[in-house]
Amino acid sequence: MENRSQWGGSRLGFLMAAIGSAVGLGNIWRFPATAFENGGGAFFVPYLFALLTAGIPLLIMEYTIGHKYRSSSPRSFSKISKGMEWIGWWQVLISFVISTYYPVIIAWAIMYAYFSFGTQWGGDDPTSFFVGDFLNLADPGTFGFIVPAVMIPLIVVWVLVLFFLGRGVKKGIELANKIFIPTLFIVFLIIVIRAVTLPGAFEGLNAFFEPDWSRITEGKVWVAAYGQIFFSLSIAFAIMITYSSYLPKKSDITNNAFITGFANSSFELLAGIGVFAVLGFMAVQSSTPVEEVVKGGVGLAFMVFPEIISQMPASGFFGFLFFASLFLAGLSSMISISETYIAGLQEKFSISRGKAVTFGGGLAFIVSLFFANQGGLNLLDTVDYFINNYGVALAGLFEVVAIAWFARSLKDLQQHADSVSDIKLGIWWRICLGIITPAILGYMMLQNLKTDLS
Ligand code: PFF
Ligand code: NA
C-alpha cells in the first residue's frame, strides 16, 4: 500500500505507542510478584540477561520486519515466505482472544476508581470482590435494571478503544498514547512517592530486594525471567510488527528498541518498589511477615490493594489514583492488541479501517460480554493461563524458528536494521535469535507441559 498511515513526524508518537503497549498490567501486578517469588534481588540477573539476549533482540527483529515489509503481521510473514502467513494469523488470534477479556479487567478498574470516592470497594473485606455486590452485581437497585453493573464501564472501555482505533494511527492511536502515557507516569510517580513514605515501606522493600542467590541456578527462575520479558514487551503478539509498519522510512529501529525495552523495565522496577512499599505497610499494620501478604494478579489489584489503601490516610484519593493508573496502563495495551486484527482484516479483505473496526471490534465486544460476570472470572483465568503459557510461547517459537532457520532471513533483516540505525547489530544479535531464544522458548514449553501434565 503506497499511502500507508504513519506516525507523526517525530519519533515520539511511535515510542509512546510502543511503550504504551508494553507498559500494562504485567508491569504493575505481574512483575513484582514474579520477581519476589524467583529470588527477589537475585532475580534481576536472569531478568537483565533475558532483556538483553531475548527481549531487545526480538524487539529489534519485530520492528525491522514491520518497518521493512510495511504490513500487518500476517502479510509481513507472507512477504517473507508464502507459507508463513499463518504465523501472523496465529499471533493475531492470540491478540484477539486477549482483547476479549482484557477490557473486562479495565472495566473493573473503572468501577473501582468510581468506588474510590466512597471507598465502597468492600473496605477491609477483601471477599467483597467475589461474593459481595461486585462480580455478580446484578443488583437492580444500583442501576435500575438487572445486569452485571460492570457492563456499563465495559461499554465505556469499548467506546473509547473503538473511537481511538477508528480515528487511525496518528489521530487516534498516537494521540491516545500521547495523553495516556505521560499521565500514567505522573500518576504512578505520585503513588510510589506516597508508598515509600508509608510506615513499613522499608520492610517491604527489604523483602523485595533481598537476594536469594541460591535460586539463580534453578531453571524455573530463568524460565520465569524470560516469560516476564516476553509478556512485558508485548513480543510475539503481532503488536510490535503492526506498530512498526507505520514507522516513517527514516527511523532508527535499533535505538527505538532499546528505548522501549529500558522504558518498560524502568516502569516495572518503579511498580515493584511501589507495590512492595505498600505491602510492607500492610505487613507492619497487621504484624504479619511481608512474605505472607504478597500476591500478584487480579487478587493484588482488586482485593489486597483496596484493603490496604482503605487503611491509609486520604484513602479515596489514592485509591482513585491507583485504579486510574490501572485503567490508563490497560487501555493503551488494549488499543495495541486490537490494532493487530484491525490491520490484519483491513489488508486481508481490502476493507476500510472503519469497516475493520466495526467487524473486528464488534465481534470482540460481543465475546467480551461473556467474561463480564462472576462465572467469567474463572473462565478468564483459564483462558489467560493457556494464552500465556502456550499461545504466546508457541507464537514466539514459531516466529524465531521460521525467520532464523526456515527463511534464513536474519542476515537480511540485520542489513535492513543497520541501514537505518546508528547502533549496528553484530553477530551476537543473530546468535541471540537463532540459538538462545529458540532454545529458551522450547525449554519453556516443555517445562510448562511437564508441570501441567503432572
Ligand atoms: N505488555 C503488557 C504488559 O506488560 O502488561 C501486556 C500485554 C499487552 C500483553 C498487550 C499482550 C498484549 F497484547
Ligand atoms: Na510490560
In a structure prediction context, what are the per-residue pLDDT tens digits for the chain, which is 454 residues long? 457 999 997 899 999 999 999 999 999 999 999 999 999 999 999 999 999 999 999 999 999 999 999 999 999 999 999 999 999 999 999 999 999 999 999 998 998 898 887 756 654 454 555 444 555 544 444 444 445 678 889 999 999 999 999 999 999 999 999 999 999 999 999 999 999 999 999 999 999 999 999 999 999 999 999 999 999 999 999 999 999 999 999 999 999 999 999 999 999 999 999 999 999 999 999 999 999 888 888 888 888 888 888 888 888 899 999 999 999 999 999 999 999 999 999 999 999 999 999 999 999 999 998 888 766 777 778 888 888 878 888 999 999 999 999 999 999 999 999 999 999 999 999 999 999 999 999 999 998 899 889 8
Q: Would you state the pLDDT for residue 375?
A: 65
22 in ligand 1 pocket by Cβ < 6 Å?
yes
* Euclidean distance between CA atoms 368 and 356, whole angstroms: 18
Q: How far is the CA of 240 from the centre of ligand 2 (A)?
A: 13
- 78, with CB counted inside 10 A (0-12, 13-18, 19+), is buried
Q: How far is the CA of 128 from the centre of ligand 2 (A)?
A: 29
Q: Where are the domains of the chain?
A: 13-453
Atom of ligand 1 lying closest to residue 340 CA: 13
Return the residue matching grid coordinates 523495565: 265
Q: How far is the CA of 127 from the centre of ligand 2 (A)?
A: 28
234, 275, 328, best to mutate for ligand 1 pocket (most atoms within 8 Å of CB): 234
Q: How far is the CA of 285 from the centre of ligand 2 (A)?
A: 31
Ligand lying nearest the CA atom of residue 231: 1
* Euclidean distance between CA atoms 388 and 452, whole angstroms: 13
335 in ligand 1 pocket by Cβ < 6 Å?
no
* Euclidean distance between CA atoms 267 and 279, whole angstroms: 18
Residue 121, CA distances (Å) to 38, 190, 274, 277, 322 in order: 31, 22, 21, 22, 13
337 in ligand 1 pocket by Cβ < 6 Å?
yes
Ligand lying nearest the CA atom of residue 101: 1
Q: How far is the CA of 177 from the centre of ligand 2 (A)?
A: 15
Give which of 323, 295, 373 is closest to 130, Cα–Cα: 373
pTM (2 d.p.): 0.94
Half-sphere exposure of 357 (CA within 13 A, CB side): 19
* Euclidean distance between CA atoms 390 and 450, whole angstroms: 12
239 in ligand 1 pocket by Cβ < 6 Å?
yes
Q: How far is the CA of 313 from the centre of ligand 1 (A)?
A: 32
Amino acid at position 182, single letter: P
This complex has an ipTM of 0.96
Ligand lying nearest the CA atom of residue 239: 1
Helices (H), 172-314: 175-196, 201-209, 219-232, 239-244, 253-285, 297-299, 305-309
Atom of ligand 1 lying closest to residue 329 CA: 5
| Angle separating helix axes 151-166 and 315-348, nearest 10 degrees | 50
Cα of 287 vs its chain's centroid, Å: 34
Protein residue whose Cα sits closest to atom 8 of ligand 1: 333
Q: Would you state the pLDDT for residue 124?
A: 45
Handedness of CA 346, 391, 333, 128 (dihedral sign): positive
Atom of ligand 1 lying closest to residue 22 CA: 1
Atom of ligand 1 lying closest to residue 28 CA: 5
| Angle separating helix axes 85-115 and 151-166, nearest 10 degrees | 130
* Euclidean distance between CA atoms 397 and 419, whole angstroms: 27
**3-state class (DSSP) for residue 370:** coil
* Euclidean distance between CA atoms 214 and 218, whole angstroms: 8
Mark 229-248 as b/e (b = at least 16 C-beta within 10 Å).
bbbbbbbbbbbbbbbbbbbe
On whether the 13-453 domain is CATH 1.10.3470, my answer is no
Q: Would you state the pLDDT for residue 139?
A: 47
